[in-house]
């Protein structure tokens, strides 16, 4: 003991950093350990977490869920109209939206504007006033895309006459297909709530000529594997959420030869190719659908704490967890910290919005930012911040995905398989990079940035799993 106190001593301080500061001011060495009680300090939630944190049954369930996710092979196999692909859109006036369930009166401006635009596109009403009356008369049903195995960016609107990509899992052929809409490009677009005649005319073309071209092209292939495109794009500077320039180019390499083998008019083929070439985000929707497909393979594993859905509707953030099925756990969406276009600021922004957080749920997007240093010019921060985010996510995941590797990190696999236990235990929140929509319908995108999932969603999910496990 005497020898111990004759040596230089360093204090490790856990908790308030002011204690460490006082020790340093007194001339001693102190290291401050950033720590906070799990589960936001809620005692019962902390006890629930403790009861399963090293549970071999939970660990085994997570290993199974993770293995199914890793084995998944999403393949683009077809293009269909939504009313042909999704049973629930055939007869009822139903419109699908991003994020967890939400009532019309609670929706944010961009989602309401996009829904009104979809009603006009479907010709259920002749003008915006009549479209609003339809809604007020409860003549239109709204449900999340995820309830129909679909995803959509930002407002995420899918209505019956819209074209959808159809993605199947070749490794799990009994799983139902996943659907996503076509990406409209940037500017005044439906997914940001715009509903002008220009927007409707573009949607009409996309639902006819562009759909015909994409369907014909896909039919010329034996299916387009999406996982290799995502993996290669990560090596070319994408993170396949907010940056899809490389992935869109790789998709075009397969679409163009296929299009040239069709009997379509050359002018229509040319217009389709030009549209895609002018839209670096074209692959985004396919990236989302591929991520959904991979995570669907991990759904419904009893006792698993692996997160299978993260989604936002512009008001609330919702998650689903493998071991609790399709139950939503929701909290108010966190604000987005980012860069705004000139003339706009945080007071103009809608809350976090869109199904595109499914990419982070699958281990890309914000989790793979180290592969895309250029993304910081869009969402803010530095290349080192992007690398740090990719490192940090390893602390809250079950494992990693060897199919998706990060060149900047010596080809380290991306962190994957968000474990709700680790989120609640560490307080480290899943990183999401995202576009920022104006809070008013139709203004469009006003910036991009970084946000996180709210902790309380994961606390609620753990509490629900423990209750289910003990019942």
CB 165 within 8 A of CB 251: no
Look at strands 316-321 and 329-332 and give their pairing.
antiparallel
406: nearest Cα among 450, 365, 349, 453: 365
Please choose, from the candidates 353, 309, 296, 461, the residue with its C-alpha nearest in 3D space to the C-alpha of residue 102: 353
For residue 430, give the DSSP letter: P
Residue 308 parent element (H or E): strand 307-313
Architecture in CATH for domain 44-69+297-470: Alpha-Beta Complex (3.90)
Write b or e for each residue in 363-375: b if 16 or more Cβ atoms lie within 10 A of its Cβ, otherwise e.
Answer: bbbbbbbbbbbeb
β-bridge mates for residue 451, sequence order: 432
Neighbours of 302 (CB within 10 A): 15
Contacts of 262 (CB under 8 A, 6+ apart): 213, 216, 217, 220, 269
CATH class of 74-288: alpha beta
Q: Using CA atoms, how far apart are residues 46 and 427, in angstroms rounded to an integer? A: 12
418: helix, strand or coil: strand
pLDDT at 15 (0 to 100): 64
Strands of the 150-151 sheet, one edge to the other: 150-151, 178-181, 163-169, 74-81, 224-225
Beta bridge partners, 13, equal: 32
Find out whether 67 and 47 touch, Cβ atoms under 8 Å.
no
Q: Considering only CA atoms, which of 239, 254, 234, 247 is closest in space to residue 282? A: 247
CA distance 380 to 449: 6
- Residues near 257 by beta carbon (within 8 Å), at least 6 away in sequence: none
pLDDT of residue 336: 85
Q: Which two tokens stand for residue 208?
A: 């006819």
Evaluate whether 296 touches 308 at the Cβ level (below 8 Å).
yes
Q: Is 210 helix (H, G, I), strand (E, B) or coil?
A: helix
For the chain, give every domain's residue range: 2-35, 44-69+297-470, 74-288
Give phi and psi for 313, each to the nearest 5. Answer: -115, 15
- Tell me what pLDDT residue 298 has: 98
Match 């890309």 to its residue by tokens: 364
Token digits of residue 227? 């996982």
The whole-angstrom separation of Cα 434 and Cα 337 is 10
DSSP β-ladder status, 178-181 and 163-169:
antiparallel
Q: Where are the alpha helices (DSSP H) in 278-320?
A: 284-296
Largest CA distance in the chain: 90
- Whether the Cβ atoms of residue 470 and residue 303 lie closer than 8 Å to each other: no
Helix or strand or coil: residue 75? strand
Q: Could you tell me the CA-to-CA distances from 396 to 158, 170, 335, 414, 462 in Å, in that order?
A: 33, 29, 21, 12, 14
Instruction: For the beta carbon of residue 238, count every other beta carbon within 10 angstroms.
Output: 30
What does the alpha-carbon distance between residue 328 and residue 165 come to, in Å, rounded to a whole number? 25
Q: How far apart are CA 445 and CA 356, in angstroms?
A: 15
Q: What is the pLDDT of residues 420-451, one digit of tens each?
A: 999 999 999 999 998 888 888 878 888 888 99
Nearest-5° angle of CA 67, CA 70, CA 72?
110
pLDDT of residue 35: 65
- Long-range (24+ apart) CB contacts under 8 A made by 382-385 are none
What does the pLDDT profile of the chain (471 residues) look like in tens digits?
667 667 777 777 766 677 777 777 877 787 766 667 788 888 999 999 999 999 999 999 999 999 999 999 999 999 999 999 999 998 889 999 999 999 999 999 999 999 999 999 999 999 999 999 999 999 999 999 999 999 999 999 999 999 999 999 999 999 999 999 999 998 889 999 999 999 999 999 999 999 999 999 999 999 999 999 999 999 999 999 999 999 999 999 999 999 999 999 999 999 999 999 999 999 999 999 999 999 999 999 999 999 999 999 999 999 999 999 999 999 999 888 888 889 998 889 888 999 999 999 999 999 999 999 888 877 777 888 889 989 999 999 999 999 999 999 999 999 999 999 999 999 999 999 988 888 888 788 888 889 999 999 999 999 999 999 998
Q: What is the DSSP letter of 428?
A: P
Summarised one tens digit per residue, pLDDT across range 375-384 is 887 777 788 8
Closest CA to 285 of 7, 55, 74: 74
Structure token pair of residue 399: 């494992």
CA dihedral 406, 412, 418, 419 (to 10 degrees): -170
**What single-letter DSSP state applies at residue 206?**
I
């Amino acid at each position: 003991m005497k020898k111990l106190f004759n040596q230089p001593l360093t204090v490790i301080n856990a908790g308030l950093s002011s204690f460490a500061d006082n020790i340093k001011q007194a001339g001693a060495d102190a290291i401050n350990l950033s720590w906070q009680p799990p589960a936001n300090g809620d005692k019962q939630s902390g006890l629930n977490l403790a009861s399963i944190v090293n549970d071999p049954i939970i660990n085994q369930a997570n290993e199974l869920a993770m293995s199914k996710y890793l084995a998944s092979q999403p393949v683009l196999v077809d293009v269909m109209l939504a009313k042909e692909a999704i049973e629930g859109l055939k007869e009822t006036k139903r419109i699908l939206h991003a994020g967890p369930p939400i009532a019309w009166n609670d929706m944010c401006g961009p989602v309401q504007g996009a829904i009104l635009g979809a009603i006009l596109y479907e010709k259920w009403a002749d003008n915006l006033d009549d479209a609003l009356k339809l809604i007020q008369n409860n003549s239109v049903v709204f449900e999340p895309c995820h309830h129909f195995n679909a995803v959509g960016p930002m407002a995420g609107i899918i209505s019956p006459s819209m074209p959808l990509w159809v993605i199947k899992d070749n490794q799990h052929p009994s799983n139902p297909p996943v659907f996503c809409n076509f990406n409209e490009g940037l500017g005044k677009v439906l997914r940001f709530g715009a509903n002008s005649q220009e927007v409707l005319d573009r949607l009409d073309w996309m639902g006819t000529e562009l759909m015909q071209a994409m369907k014909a092209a896909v039919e010329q292939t034996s299916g387009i594997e999406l996982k290799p495109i995502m993996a290669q794009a990560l090596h070319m500077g994408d993170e396949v959420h907010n940056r899809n320039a490389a992935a869109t180019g790789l998709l075009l390499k397969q679409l163009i030869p296929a299009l040239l083998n069709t009997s379509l008019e050359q002018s229509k083929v040319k217009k389709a190719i030009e549209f895609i070439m002018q839209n670096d985000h074209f692959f985004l929707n396919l990236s989302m659908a591929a991520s959904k497909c991979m995570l669907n393979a991990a759904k419904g594993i009893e006792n698993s704490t692996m997160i299978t859905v993260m989604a936002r509707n512009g008001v609330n953030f919702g998650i689903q967890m493998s071991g609790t099925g399709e139950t939503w756990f929701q909290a108010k969406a966190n604000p987005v910290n980012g860069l705004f276009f000139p003339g706009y600021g945080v007071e103009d922004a809608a809350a976090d919005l869109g199904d595109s957080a499914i990419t982070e749920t699958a281990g890309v997007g914000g989790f793979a930012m180290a592969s895309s240093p250029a993304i910081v010019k869009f969402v803010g921060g530095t290349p080192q911040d992007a690398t740090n985010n990719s490192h940090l996510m390893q602390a809250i995941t079950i494992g990693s995905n060897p199919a998706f590797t990060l060149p900047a990190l010596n080809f380290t696999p991306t962190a994957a398989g968000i474990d709700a236990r680790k989120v609640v235990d560490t307080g480290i929140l899943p990183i999401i990079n995202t576009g920022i929509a104006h809070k008013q319908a139709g203004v469009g995108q006003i910036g991009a940035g970084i946000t996180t999932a709210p902790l309380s969603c994961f606390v609620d999910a753990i509490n629900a799993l423990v209750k289910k496990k003990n019942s």
